[in-house]
Chains A and B, each alone.
Chain A
C-alpha cells in the first residue's frame, strides 16, 4: 500500500488527485491538503469581476467529490515538509495546520510515500505599498471573493458615470514582476464591454497599466502568428484591439505606491509618474507559499528544496546565465524535486529556471520582468503527467520511467475573453506551440503551423463551453477523464 499526498486543490492539485484515484486501486491512499473548502474555475473569475456571473457559478465544494471518489481531504495548509522523514519514521512527512473541518489551528503530521506540491501562488499584495483588497485601494480577480468585490466596485463606478461624473479606470499589473498578464488583458476588455453596454464609455478613461515591455507579450515574449499568409506579431494584433476599443496602454511599468486616489509607478526609462484613478484592478505578483523543509536531523534545508521565490526546485537548470544563453533545455521535463525522487512540484508551484520574456531593469535598478505563466492548460498537463509517473512507480516499481511534459514541447490554448454576451461577446483565441520558445527547433521560437490567434464571437462561445466542460470534469462526473487537460 502506498500513501500519496497532494498539497493544493487548484487546477494542478485537483487534476493530479482525480487521475491518481483513477489510476490506483483503493488499497492506496490519495490525500489532498488544501486550505480552501471550494474548488474555483479561476478563468471565469473575470466574468464574476464584471457581474456577468455569480460566485456560486465558478466554485463548488470539494468535500462531496472527494468523499465520492475515496480521496482523503484535509482542509489545512502545509507548513513544513520532511522529505527524509524524522526521528520517529524514515518516511517523508508533511506538517499541516488546519484551516477548517472544525479543527482550525490544529497541527498534524501526515506521512507519505509520494508527494505532489501543487500549492499554487501566494498572492503577494504586500510587495507594492497599498496594493490589493486588504489595503482597500485596488481590487483583484485572483479569487472568486476578490472578483465579487471587484464587480461591486465596478458597478458603483458605472453608477457615477451614469450620474454624469467622468471616471478613470486602471486595469493591469501591480508590480514589475507579475505574471498572468492575460488575465489583466481579459479584464480590461470585459470592463470596456460593460462600459459600452451601460452606455457610459464616453465618460470613462480606461488605462491598461502593464509590466510588459510590448503589447501582446503576455509574459511569453510575444508570439508570431501565421494569418492569411502573412506573419503577424501578437504586438500588432493586440495593438489593433486596444486602438479599436480606445484603451490607453502604459507599458513597462512597476507601481511603487498606491493610495486611494493615485498610483505612483516607474517606467522602463526610470521616470516616475502619478496616475489619479477612481477604479483599479491590479494583479499582485506571485510567490511560493512559505513552506519550510527539514532533513532527518531536523536541520533547515529550505534553501535546498525551494528557490528564493518560494517555488520548489525541480529538474530544471537553475545555473544563473545571461538572457542570450537561455535555452529550451533549461526547462524541466518531469517536475521531480531536486534530491528527492518521490517529490514533485507542478503548476505555479515549480520554480521556473528563468523568465520567458526578456527581463529589464530601469536606470534606477528597478526590475521589470514579467514572470512566466504556468497556469491553466500547462498546469493540468503537468499534473496528469506526474500522476502517471507516480502510478507507474507504485504499480511497476521505483525504476519505472518518469513521464515527460516540458513546456518547451507543450502546446497551450489560451482563450482570453473580450466581453461576455451570447451574440455580442468576443474573445481572443490563441494557440501557442510550444509555450516556451525553442529557437533551436523553430527560427521564430514557435511552430508557425500551429501558433495562431483569432478574435471573434466564436472565441466567447469557446470560453463559455470550456467553463462548463472543465467544471463538469472537476466534479468528476461520468466520463470526466475523457475531457483533455
Chain B
C-alpha cells in the first residue's frame, strides 16, 4: 500500500460497540477451563443427539 494515493482509513463508519457487554474475568476463565468445558461438550453433544433423534435425520 503506497501512502501517496490511498485515502485515510480514519473515516470508516464503524459500528459503535461501546454498549456491548464485556465478559468478566470469571467468564473468560470459565470459557477456557478444560474441566467445565468437557461437561459443556458432553451436554452439547447429548442435546444434538436428542434433536437428531426427534427429527429423524
Q: Which of A's residues lie within 8 Å of B, judged by CB? A: 168, 205, 207, 215, 236, 239-240, 242-244, 248-251, 261-262, 267, 271, 273-278, 380-381, 384-385, 405, 410-411, 413, 423-424, 426, 429, 431, 433, 450, 454-459, 461-462, 484-485
Contacts and interface: CB of A to CB of B under 8 A. Distances in A.
Interface string B8-19: 110111110111
B14 A410 contact: no
Nearest to A253: B13
B31 A426 contact: yes
7 tightest CB-CB pairs across the interface, nearest first?
A239-B20, A458-B40, A458-B41, A243-B17, A276-B6, A456-B31, A484-B52
B57 A384 contact: yes
B15 A215 contact: yes
B23 A456 contact: no
A242 B5 CA distance: 30
27 contacts: A168-B9, A239-B15, A239-B19, A239-B20, A242-B20, A249-B14, A249-B15, A250-B13, A261-B1, A273-B11, A274-B6, A276-B7, A278-B1, A380-B57, A411-B55, A423-B34, A429-B44, A431-B47, A431-B48, A431-B51, A433-B51, A454-B44, A456-B40, A462-B41, A462-B44, A484-B49, A485-B57
A384 B55 CA distance: 13
A371 to B, nearest CB: 21
A242 B37 contact: no
Nearest to A381: B57
B22 interface: yes
B14 to A, nearest CB: 4
Interface residues of B, number: 37
A98 to B, nearest CB: 34
Main secondary structure of the interface of B (DSSP, over half): loop
Nearest to B30: A456
Contacts of B20: 236, 239-240, 242-243
B37 A249 contact: no
Q: Which of B12, B18, B47 has the most CB of A within 10 A?
A: B12
A410 B52 CA distance: 10
Contacts of B21: 236, 240
Contacts of A411: 51, 55
Contact of A243 (B22, B31, B37): B22
Interface string B29-44: 0111110011011001
Contacts of B38: 458
A452 to B, nearest CB: 8
A433 B17 CA distance: 28
Given A276-B6, A276-B7, 13 more contacts: A207-B12, A240-B20, A242-B20, A244-B23, A250-B12, A261-B5, A273-B12, A274-B7, A276-B1, A423-B32, A457-B32, A461-B37, A485-B57
Contact of A462 (B13, B45, B57): B45
A461 B52 contact: no
A405 B57 contact: yes
A251 B15 contact: yes
A431 B5 CA distance: 46
Contacts of A207: 12, 14
Contacts of B32: 423-424, 426, 456-457
B17 A249 contact: yes
A168 B23 CA distance: 26
A44 B33 CA distance: 24
Contacts of A205: 9
Contacts of A424: 32
A385 B57 CA distance: 8
Contacts of B45: 462
A99 B15 CA distance: 45
